[in-house]
Structure 1
Amino acid sequence: MTDPNSGNGRGFSPQRPDPVNNPSGPPGRPAPRFSSRLGWIVGGVVVAGLIVAQSITVVPAGFVGVVFSALSGVKPDPLQEGLHFVVPFVDKVTLYDARLQEVTLAHDTNKQDEGSIRARSKEGLDITADVTVQFRIDRSKAAILHKELGRNYLNTVLRPQLRSKVRDSIGQFGAADLISNQRTQLEASITTELEKAFSRNNLILDAILLRELKIPESVAKAIEQKQTAEQQVAVERNRLQQAEISAQRDVVQAEGKAKAAIETAKGEAEALSLRGRALKENPQLIQLTVAERLAPGIQTVMLPSDSNFLLDLKSFGTQTLPKVEQTPAQSGN
């Protein structure tokens, strides 16, 4: 018969712990118990960690934070970049991207609501415009933006305003002007109108970029032919102006030559007048002129009867006054 208390039997020894009937181990040792104080400490640490995590907010670079309080609503002063402390479980921070952003409305976009802007020109022609707008939110008014528009301001304000202002501005120009020389004026008109709309909604417009303007192909060909004809007319007009300038130049030259001839004639007449006066005052000059006109072989000249003396042409080379030879009739006197 096996002793139930012996260690060789199949029973349990009173010195060994019985995991079912005697879980506390051998007698004389207290059973281990979980301390309530330790539980409170661990719980307090967890709660404190949650409170600290809820009270610290980091605003990343380029963003601005808007605080909504469950007690007072949206706070007017937004949180700028950096570390901030808020009331845990009461304040909720919403981040807004304050960096430069852009929205493109073009035919190659995947989103259906961001296709090209269809408008009509001043004469009623269809114009398709691909536009990119660059903007940013007003940091100082981010709280008002959050309160009035929310985070969906792109769909509620920006895109509708962009489409409306582009259509209105295109309607003020003709199709030919838009694709030729008034593209800059169109951009300026859209910019002016969008700045007003964005300012009312606490947005700042940076730039409007007209990527492409399209008109119907038939209209484009007609405009091109018209411009070609105008260029040809301009070329012909330029040639005509050049011909007129050349003719005017010839007239001026002819007038100049005529005036020069008149002045030359006046000078010659005055010279003849002066010469005649000199001959009248100096009769010897007449004799000298006659002698100069004669052939160089003639040495002596007979003057008219009223001048009863001879001229020796050889004497003109050495004397300033002519040498007079007296005739026998003169010597008798």
Structure 2
Amino acid sequence: MFGEIGVLLAFIGVGLIIFSRVRQLPFTRTGWAVLGAGALIAAVGSALVVIPAGQAGVVFSALRGVRPTTLGEGIHFVTPAVDSVIPYDVRLQELTLSRIGEDGRGADESIQARSKEGLGITADVTVQFRVKREEAALLHKELGPNYITTVIRPQVRSKVRDGVGQFNAADLISTQRAALEGQITQSLREVFERNHLELVGVLLRELRIPESVAKAIEEKQTAEQQVAVERNRLQQANIAAQRKVVEARAESDAAIARAEGESRALSLRGKALKENPEIIQLTVAEKLSPGIQTVMLPSDGNFLMDVGSLTRARSSQP
């Protein structure tokens, strides 16, 4: 900017000098003064370089080539007529490879790839990246300003094709889309690092397969889902049957335990009756009406039983 102003003033000074000599006017000194000021401003302006926000300046010296130091934002001094500054954008950039112009007027840059089983898949991809500010001089020296055309675009196409080839088509359009995106990101990050670029992200905008193949995959997935539903129902039925078996076994064990308990109780009762026969008489007496004091029991010989004495005898026992 300052250089342009200086050149303009120099031209004005030259014009004043010529005009004064032709018209013989006293403006010659003024012309020389304007010419000198313009030359001075142009010289100073050519030594001043302003790097805008979001850019980095790579200095190329006619004597020493590309300088390793990158100029940051702001005003910088360079050697006039020796150094030139090449600006590089270090802000976030995007490269999209997709179908452009659905009406057919735009170029189709989508990536054609093949899945693991050989099916054709079309991918639309957006890559976000930026130039590393501190390595902009190396980028300019090794790749130049056309790094997007020479490195980024072909590498994105290559890594996407390689990634798609590792997966089946059915998996890519269902469950493995994120895995493919991660694999492409990892592969591209290594390439970008080697070329002084920072990869920010890879976005798979769309994955397209032939309609006939998509229909076949959909039918297969529907069938697999139905099989899974039936398998789940069978498992639930097996679980219910096992539960009934466990419940029946528990009921059987409980019945056996009750029977064993009753058998043991009867055995103990029989043993007690055998050792104490008078318990039978006492039990019979307790069952009879309290008003009956004497009963006749059948036996080998008839005899009378005094119920009152039995009752009193039981009451007197400690």
Task: Please indicate the TM-score interval, normalised by the length of the shorter structure.
Answer: 0.7 to 0.9
Amino acid at match of 1:163: R
Percent identity at matched positions? Answer: 61
Matches within 5 A, 1:23-102: 34=26, 38-102=30-94
- Give the stretch that moved more between structures: 35-44 or 86-95: 35-44
Of residues 201, 224, 230, the one that matches 2:218 is 224
CA contact (8 A) 2:50 2:74 kept: yes
Q: 2:219 & 2:302 partners in 1: Cα distance?
A: 93
1:140 equivalent to 2:99? Answer no
User: Which residue matches 2:314?
Assistant: 321
Under a length normalisation based on structure 2, what TM-score does the superposition of the two structures give?
Answer: 0.83
The aligned residue for residue 15 of structure 1 is none
Map 1:145-156; keep pairs closer than 5 Å: 145-156=139-150
Shift in alpha-carbon separation, 1:269–1:311, aligned structure 2, 3 A: farther
In structure 2, relative to structure 1, the CA distance for the partners of 1:274 and 1:91 (3 Å cut) is same
Residue in 1 that maps onto 2:159: 165
**Superposition deviation, residue 151 in structure 1:** 1.3
Q: Give the corresponding residue for 1:310.
A: 305
Query: What is the letter of the counterpart of residue 46 of structure 1?
Result: G
Cα offset for 1:80? Answer: 0.8
- Give me the TM-score of the superposition, normalised by structure 1: 0.80
Give the drift of 1:288. 3.0
Amino acid aligned to 1:53: G
Cα deviation 1:66-86 (Å, max 9, x = unaligned):
011111111100001111111
The code of the aligned residue for 2:278 comes to Q
1:196 to 2:180 alignment: no
In the alignment, the residues of structure 1 paired with residue 64 and residue 136 of structure 2 have an alpha-carbon distance, to the nearest angstrom, of: 17
1:54 maps to amino acid:
S
Question: 2 CA distance for matches of 1:179 and 1:33?
Answer: 85
Shift of 1:167: 0.6
Q: 2:96 aligns with which of 87, 99, 104?
A: 104
Task: Note if contact 2:60-2:85 (Cα within 8 Å) is conserved in structure 1.
Answer: yes
Q: 1:72 to 1:285 in 2, by over 3 A?
A: same
Name the counterpart of 2:170. Answer: 176
CA change 1:187–1:297 in 2 (3 A) is: farther
How far, CA to CA, are the matches of 2:56 and 2:141 in structure 1?
14
| SS, match of residue 78 in structure 1 | strand
Does the Cα contact within 8 Å between 1:64 and 1:98 map onto a contact in 2? yes
Structure 1 residue runs without a partner (length 5+): 1-31, 324-333
What residue ranges of structure 2 are gaps of 5+ in the alignment? Answer: 1-23
**1:213-250 deviation per Cα after TM superposition (whole angstroms, max 9, x unaligned):** 01111111111111111111111111110110000000
2:211 equivalent to 1:213: no
Task: Mark the CA change 1:307 to 1:196 in structure 2 (over 3 Å): closer, same or farther.
Answer: farther
Deviations 1:248-281 (Å, cap 9, x if unpaired)?
Answer: 0000001000110111111111111221222223
Counterpart CA distance in 1 for 2:50 and 2:313 is: 123
How large is the RMSD of aligned CA atoms in angstroms?
A: 2.6
* Superimposed CA distance per residue, residues 48-71 of structure 1 (whole angstroms, 9 cap, x where no aligned partner): 100111111111111111011111
Residue type at the aligned position of 1:100 = L
CA contact (8 A) 2:130 2:198 kept: yes
Q: What's 1:280 paired with? A: 274
C-alpha contact (below 8 Å) 1:311/1:322 kept by paired residues: no
Task: Name the larger-Rg structure.
Answer: 1
Q: What's the CA shift string for 1:152-177, capped at 9, x where partnerless?
A: 11111111110111011101111111
**Greater share of helix:** 2
Determine the structure 1 residue equivalent to 2:117. Answer: 123
How far, CA to CA, are the matches of 2:282 and 2:74 in structure 1?
119
Residue correspondences, number: 290
